[in-house]
Amino acid sequence: MPLLRSWVDSANRADCDFPLNNLPCGVFSVEGEEPRCGIAIGDFVLDVAGLEEAGLLALDGGPLLDVPFWNEAMEAGPAVWAALRARLQDLLAEGAAEREAVEPFLVPRAAATLHMPFLVAEYTDFYAGRNHAFNVGSMFRGPENALPPNWLHIPIGYNGRASSVVVSGTPVRRPWGQVKGPDQPMPAFQPSRRFDLELEMGAVVGRASEGMVSVAEADEMIFGYVLLNDWSARDIQAWEYQPLGPFQAKATATTISPWIVMRAALEPFRVSTPPREVPLLPHLQEPGPMLYDIALEVGLTPEGGAETVIARTNYREMYYSAAQQLAHHTTSGCPMNVGDLLGSGTISGPTKESRGSLLELSWGGKEPIAIEGGTRSFLEDGDTLTLRGHAQGEGYRIGFGNCSGRVIPAHENPLGAGR
Ligand code: MN
């Protein structure tokens, strides 16, 4: 598919994240006003809540955008999602008859503050990247036992916390927790010294389910995708994780990018998961390509310093797709809801430069990596992490907007001396 040209000139630049082909969904505010639904186009946010109010959208079952989140529009279903995209592409296309009516609803993106784009119902995080699972398993259990015996048969996951999912730009405080090194007789309660990132994609569920769904049905339930940083305290994780998986190590915060890129915008970039090493049972087999070719990178900027890109990888490295994860999630009969968020699992490629966490990049802290003006094994206070991603089309790209967060120092012992 070629670039769809818009009368919004900045949307036609080859390096613009938000061409007419994209139209991602966010929530924005301008000074002195309440947050509202918007769509990114070029250097602007289009106030779609205003457009709907002015009668320019006429969505079935509307109004759907008179709330500061996208859940109601998601709940309206795929026919409405498609109708919204088609209508906006008409209104914003080069030569559109209604340009004059639409133009007053454009807000310069630089003047907009971005908020959480949807209400997160529940958050589940997976462990579905082959390279990441092998690297981490090698460090924790040795290369022979790196992959757990179930890993090639089901996408392993755990139920995370929706309450700590935050939008890009929200500072993230270094957590306290209980840690214990192998040589220490007793655990200690202290701020994490191995605070880390995980580069992931998040899938946003736009349709509820009752009972089991197929992989094909699961794919249709996904409204769109965001970038996701699953902040992780490795020292807390190492002590707490067996036998029920991560708990407090992952509960501090999960940062997402501010725009939900609709699945429809990513259709031209579908790719297959890698070849199966052992055949999957039929209920998890994919009927077609269900991953996406999305180039990803992570920048690390120390306080007052310059950014170093510490990792470059691609979403297509995943062993399981979000559709497979979602289908697996329903096998027990577990109902899925509008606004559920699924983390892909850390996306690491096969090379050292393509590892999606500092745990892997510094190999457990044994091989600190070089950054502008220093080295890093794990995150230091004042570090800002920025995840970026885009799918590359011919003469255009589908971008996600930055997913960034700055690490701020741990509280002084919040429970007081002696606790
Ligand atoms: Mn994770």
Which of 115, 132, 283, 329 is catalytic? The answer is 132
Dist. CA 182–CA 195, nearest whole Å: 18
Answer for the pair 154, 369: CB distance below 8 angstroms, yes or no: no
Instruction: Find the helix or strand (DSSP H, E) in which 299 lies.
Output: strand 295-301
Token pair in block for residue 255: 């940062």
Q: Cα(125)–Cα(234) distance, rounded to whole angstroms?
A: 16
Q: Count Cβ atoms within 10 A of the Cβ of residue 324 and give its class: 0-12 exposed, 13-18 middle, 19 or more buried.
A: buried
- Helix, coil or strand: residue 138: helix
163 CB neighbour count, 10 Å cutoff: 10
At 416 the pLDDT is: 64
pTM of the model: 0.97
User: What spacing in Å lies between the alpha carbon of 127 and ligand 1's midpoint?
Assistant: 6
Q: Tokens 């970026």 — which residue?
A: 388
Cα(157) to centroid(ligand 1), Å: 9
Selecting from 3.20.20.70, 3.90.850.10, 3.30.70.1230, 1.10.3720.10, what CATH number does the domain 123-408 have? 3.90.850.10
Q: Which residues contact 358 (CB under 8 A, 6 or more apart)?
A: 196, 197, 310, 369, 376, 377, 378, 379
pLDDT, residue 419, reads 52
Report the C-alpha gap between 320 and 329 in whole angstroms.
Answer: 13
CA separation for the pair 257, 388 (Å, rounded): 9
Q: Which whole number is the average pLDDT over 86-100?
A: 98
Q: How many CB atoms are closer than 10 A to CB 414?
A: 8
Neighbours of ion ligand 1 (CB under 5 A): 125, 198, 230
Taking the domains of the chain in order of start, what are their residue ranges? 9-115, 123-408
* Res. 120 pLDDT band, cuts 50 70 90: very high
- pLDDT at residue 417 above 70? no
Closest by CA to 97, choosing from 56, 136, 135, 134, is 56
Spacing, Cα 228 to ligand 1 middle (Å): 9
Question: Residue written as tokens 């991560």?
Answer: 246
Read off the pLDDT of each residue in 255-278 and give the average, rounded to a whole number.
97
Q: What is the pLDDT of residue 76?
A: 97
Unique residue bearing structure tokens 């179930």: 150
Taking CA atoms, 76 is separated from 185, 207, 263, 280, 338, in Å, by: 56, 9, 15, 33, 10
How far away, in angstroms, is 217 Cα from ligand 1 center?
A: 24
State the distance from the centre of ligand 1 to the C-alpha of 231, rounded, in angstroms.
8
Q: Which fold has domain 9-115?
A: SH3 type barrels. (2.30.30)
Q: Reduced to 3 states, what is the DSSP secondary structure of residue 126?
A: strand
Domain 9-115 shares a fold with domain 123-408: no
How confident is the model over 156-186, as pLDDT tens digits?
999 999 999 999 999 999 999 999 999 999 9
Question: What pLDDT score was predicted for residue 413?
Answer: 77
Taking a C-beta distance cutoff of 8 angstroms, is the pair 25, 37 a contact? yes
Catalytic residue at 132? yes
